[in-house]
Chain A
Amino acid sequence: MTEHLLEVRDLKMHFFTRDGVVKAVDGVSYVLDKGETLGVVGESGSGKSVHALTMMQLVPMPPGKVVGGDVLFRGRSLVSMSDEQIRRIRGNDIAMIFQDPMTSLNPVYRVGHQVGEPLVVHKGMSWKEAETRAVELLRLVGIPHPEQRVRDYPYQFSGGMRQRAMIAMALACDPDILIADEPTTALDVTIQAQIIELMQEIQQRTGNAIIMITHDLGVVADVADRILVMYAGRPVEFGTTDEVFYRPLHPYTWGLMDSIPAHGMTEKSELHPIKGQPPSLIYVPPGCAFSPRCPYAQERCFTEEPLLRAVDGDHSSACHFAGEPGFTKSEVALAEVTA
């Protein structure tokens, strides 16, 4: 068996709170290889961010606890590492970019200091060397006049520039894996595209793997090789980007796609949201977690939990009916129209 860069095996992260056990991540598995981009898609509270934070041991424990599964990075278990061991991985082998660039940079340190800090910590550089390197990194991520901007404070940067600085910081030690947790959510649409392009460019140059966590299918459509759709802490669909977009196998994925406002829509056209709310992660519905919101749910869906299973090659779905003849997005829609 060849060793994968990253292998997530049935990872379960639960939070033990006063109100009950929150099953934030409940059985996620996938593999990631060098140069690949994985898109992790889901609504708020689907566990997509928590699963990434769990790998980095950035979830406060307690109340959080890994109750099962493992994450292997180059064959080494990340979840059972000591503080010191995981510290050497963070920012060095696996780096992370966060959602809100406005609050993710420390307001009292110069940008150059913060971008260069991983180099001082992991590569043993002096602060002077790190700052020189920070200028190059800022230039790499497209910040104009990096020689001057390196001495600026975060508040002197715009949102897009801050996210570029965050990317520069994440790239400082040339990590194998870059985890981007909703990197464009807090940015203007025009800036979003620039940031995504930048990350693709850098991936081509450095060959690192990217885990792109987002609620926006549009973001992953362009960049991801494969897509993992999550719902209520569980994976519901996994496949290549083409498979997930053109032959989606789970009613939740269909719902996500329908809820994207189509091009050429007028203000009079109706939006198609998924009805209902995501379930409480303490009282996850029995059977399929999506069943209360699923328009195609049968009796079986409310009692029997469907497992993620390969339906078409590696393309897998956690729906009882996936793969049955006639149970595809277009055919079901057609049947609805004719009925």
Chain B
Amino acid sequence: MFQYIVRRILQFIPVFLGVTLLLFLTANFLPGADPIQLKMGEKAIDPATKARLLKDLGLDRPWYAQYGDYLSSLSPIHIEYYDGSTATDDSKQPKDTFPQTGKVALVIPRVSGPFPEDGAINVTNSWGKVVTRGASGRWRLGNLAIEFDPPDLGTSIYNGRRVTDILGETYPYTVRLAICAIIVEIIVGIGAGVISATKKGSFLDVLVTLSTSILVALPVFWLGIMLQYAFGIWLKDLTGARFYLPPTGASGEFASWVYLILPAITLAAVSTAYAARIMRSQLLEVIGQDYIRTAYAKGLSRRKVLWGHAMKNAMIPVVTFIGLDFGAMLSGAILTETVYNWPGVGYTIYRAIVGRDFPIVYGGVTVILFAVMFVNLLVDVSYAFLDPRIRFGGGEQ
């Protein structure tokens, strides 16, 4: 099991590099207004100012150098090489050699001067930010200095705020929405699928089959607007303003959850319908298997056969689907977040793309990438837990 997890984590590395590389390529060749112009608004920009801004932001260098900057600032480990030359007082302060045009940053940066033995040093990093590196945080290995830094995602071009701060504010909204939506999906989707399969041909089955067919065809934004209309206006009129969603005057922790109801339902709707359909078809298939007949022949009750023998087999594809869907929800639901003015990461990234605020795009995608990878790992592990053939790496069939 441990080996399996390690193998899965190692498989993340090429995925991560592939996605981020593709992202940098796309961003670099994206047509449209340049970020500096968007930052400055309508006004004409003095070319010298523009050049300085570009340099400050590290945007004057080719895309692969920017990619190198991105990777190195993301890495929690920094390595520098001191050549040990005696330098003048002025250059004694080591400089990051990253911002040199055309240099691929994956090589270990070379710093003039001897290894600084003690004292804090101010270093300007590749994102134009001055950071203080304490001597205590450094490890010396011959002429190599190894340092551990929390990953840094740069600053927004538009307002200069740290991307980690921006994502720190918006991501919890997305996570909270995703958790609520996935709870709806698990309870309603699996529940409806099980009822539908066990009462095949009944009124409930027809109802589930029909409503899921309609739901998968509905556009999310339309559903969101209709729900707002139904619960916020129509229901309010009907009950004489006694009950509606979301209620006014909700405050505190309660409010943060009550405002989630409609967005969560909207976000969950389509995938809940899919989950119900997968659950239904899987359970029907499993119920027809020989080992279910064996279970009945042993004298197990209907309930034990269903929950003990059938569900564990039927759940395998459902867990995969819901797990991957949770990953998708964690990457931000642009439509749902837009319709409900939900300040989540999807909406934030969407605005950043429109505004060419690349550090936010890169940072947002990075966070999403890690979240999705983590959820996928959880799905794989749970999959292995459900299916012993995967856990032990094979066997026939």
Contacts and interface: CB of A to CB of B under 8 A. Distances in A.
Interface residues of A, number: 30
B290 interface: yes
B52 interface: no
Given A108-B313, A108-B388, A156-B395, A89 B302 contact: no
A5 B388 CA distance: 41
A118 B301 CA distance: 11
A103 interface: yes
B297 interface: yes
B376 to A, nearest CB: 22
Contact of A106 (B301, B309, B392, B395): B309
Contacts of B298: 90-91, 95, 117-118, 121, 169
Nearest to B386: A108
Interface residues of B, number: 25
Interface string A135-168: 0000000000000000001011000000000100
A2 B297 CA distance: 28
Contact of A117 (B290, B300, B386): B300
Interface string B370-388: 0000000000000000111
B11 interface: no
Contacts of A90: 296-299
Please classify the interface of chain B as helix (H, G, I), strand (E, B), loop, or mixed, using the class held by over half of its residues. helix
B313 A98 contact: no
A174 interface: no
Interface in B23-37: none
Nearest to B304: A121
Contacts of A121: 298-300, 304
A307 to B, nearest CB: 33
Contact of A155 (B293, B312, B388): B388
A84 B396 CA distance: 37
Contacts of B395: 153, 155-156
A42 to B, nearest CB: 20
18 contacts: A88-B299, A91-B299, A98-B290, A98-B293, A106-B291, A106-B294, A106-B313, A107-B388, A108-B312, A108-B388, A109-B312, A118-B298, A118-B299, A153-B389, A153-B392, A155-B389, A155-B395, A155-B396
Interface of B: 289-291, 293-302, 304, 309, 312-313, 386-389, 392, 395-397
